[in-house]
Structure formats: C-alpha cells, structure tokens
Structure 1
C-alpha cells in the first residue's frame, strides 16, 4: 500500500473540513462586524468624508461574505492535505491573519482609530501574503482561492489610507451623534 488515503477519503476529508471552516469563518467575520458596529449606518463612519474610490456601501457585506467563504474553502483544502509538508505552518498563519482581520473592525469602527486600523491593515497585508504563499506550497488551489482576498485587503489598505488623509480630525474621536446648532 503506497497511499495514505483513497481519493474518496480525501474528498470526504475536504468536505468535513469545509463544513467546519466555512461556517466558522463566516460567523466570526459577521460577529466581528456586528460587535463593533461596522457599516455605513455607523454614525461616526457616516460623518467621515469618503474618497472617490469608496464603493457603494452594499458592496462590503457582499464582498466579505464571498471572501470569508473562499477563505474557509482554502483552509479546508489545506487542512485536508494530511501529511503535506508545511500544512501546520500554513494553518497557523491562517489563524494569525484571520485574528488580525477580525481585529480590524473593532479598531476602526469601535475605537474610531483610523491610523491604528491602517497599521493593522499593513500587518494583515503581510500576513495574508505569507498565508497565501504557505497555502500555495501545500495546495496551489488553496493559495489561488486567497488571491481575491489579498487584492481586497490591499484595496482596503488604500481606502483606509485615503480616509485617514481626508479625516485627520476624526482619528480616535468620540462621535456622539448630537446635533450642533450654530446661529449666524
């Protein structure tokens, strides 16, 4: 016997891992955003001046749902690669980059720290790139599934930078939502 598992066993292993990773990644991504009050209806965020490259607000939940599903599938491909060299390191980096990803919404939307969120995105960019390379080494398909995610976080970094430039006064500010009347 020269193989560890048959094709059917490997397929079953992938499906089991996918049934774990995809819902967990989607759920944690949703919870991170929900707990931090992320979204266009956040009063502090709504008051920010938006750059010209800012997409319609409906774009974000759709894109993140797709990206989280792709991330879960990529992680499942790697997790199902029993005995593959670099599998453990790839999964550890996946967890690290995902933890950084989950921290962004609370930093940006919850704490209103635009600059710190930008620094965090720089770390996310590097962590996603490392994860992508490690995934690619285990299974190239898993690395390929992370390419849209890398592109989006690079775009998010640019968007965060533009928000920082346009709104330096809003960095770390407390926004009460109260209306201020000025009589002339």
Structure 2
C-alpha cells in the first residue's frame, strides 16, 4: 500500500473556497511577474533571437489570467472530490492528495519561472523549470482526471497545452541564444 502524502491542512483549505482557489494562483502570478515588468523592453530581451511562433506581447498576460483561473478552479473541484471521500485511506482520496501536492509543486515552479527567466536572465535554468512545471502539470492533470471522473480535464487541458508551447518557446530561446 503506498504511503500517505503529507499535505498541511492550510493547503487543503485554500481551494475549498472558489475565490481563494482562483485568487492564490492569480496573486502568485502577479507577484512573480511584477518585479521584471520592464524587462520585455530591455536591451537584453530585445536582442534575443526568438523561435517561430512568438506570440504578441498582449497574449501571454491574457492567457495566463485565463490559465490561472482554470487551474485554480480545477484545484477547487479536486478538493471537493477529496472532501467527498469519507474514508481517509481510500485510493481515490490518496490520489487526490498526491494531485493536490503536485498542484502546489507546479504553482511553486510557476512562481519562480519569471524571476529566473526575466529577472536572472537564465534561459537554461528557466527551461529546466518550465520542463519540470510541464511534467508536473501533466501528471497532476492525469491524476485529477482519473480521480474526479474528468471534471477537471477541460480546465487543465488548455493549461498543459500552453505549458508545452511555453516550454517550446523557452527551449527555442535557449537554443538560438546559447552562445
């Protein structure tokens, strides 16, 4: 029998309320990106060679707002399913707890991405972070899909697709500017 994942009660409480479930990722995204706000206008960023498919500057902030809303609400749905499982040791409850732990892990990776990429200007390390975030998010999404009967899939699917694209863009930036 797999061991139980420890998750502090606070981290289970946050997504129980849909406002905090959505608000926490929104605030983390805002606080993560704000210090490097002007970096997109910097000489460093403007001198980078970009891979094909570069989005317009307006698109990422808009998409991240939608993605944070979807991911946050998916965490709300997952914790509601978690709460419906009455017995502590049920396989579904253990799976949901693993999925929620991965949810917070990917939020942490997401939080440090912008400071690594735009703040420290470390394309290689931001690619590592983006790859780990994508892998963690796909794993979380798969766990939530099975444990919630698919109720989180429509919310997390676009997020996973966006992360693949963002990782491609980061990988392209690293590759084209690696010298």
- How does the TM-score come out when normalised to structure 1? 0.78
- 1:114 corresponds to: 123
Q: Residue 74 of structure 2: SS of its match in structure 1?
A: helix
> Structure 1 pair 34/89, CA: closer, same or farther in 2 (3 Å)?
same
* Alignment deviations for residues 53-84 of structure 1 (CA, whole Å, 9 cap, x no partner): 10111111000000000001100001112125
User: Mind listing any 5+ residue stretches in structure 2 that lack a counterpart?
Assistant: 1-12, 86-91
Over aligned residue pairs, what C-alpha RMSD do you find?
2.0
* Residue correspondences, number: 156
Greater shift, 53-62 or 42-51, is seen at 42-51
Q: Tell me whether 1:32 sits opposite 2:32 in the alignment.
A: yes
* Alignment partner, residue 165 of structure 1: 175
* Structure with the larger helix share: 2
Runs of 4+ in 1 over 4 A off after TM superposition: none
Q: In the TM superposition, what are the counterparts of 1:28-177 in structure 2 within 5 Å?
A: 28-37=28-37, 40-81=40-81, 82=83, 83=85, 85=93, 86-139=95-148, 140-169=150-179
The structure with the larger Rg is: 1
Please state whether the residue corresponding to 1:53 is helix, strand or coil.
coil
Q: Return 5+ residue gaps in structure 1 as ranges.
A: 1-12, 170-184
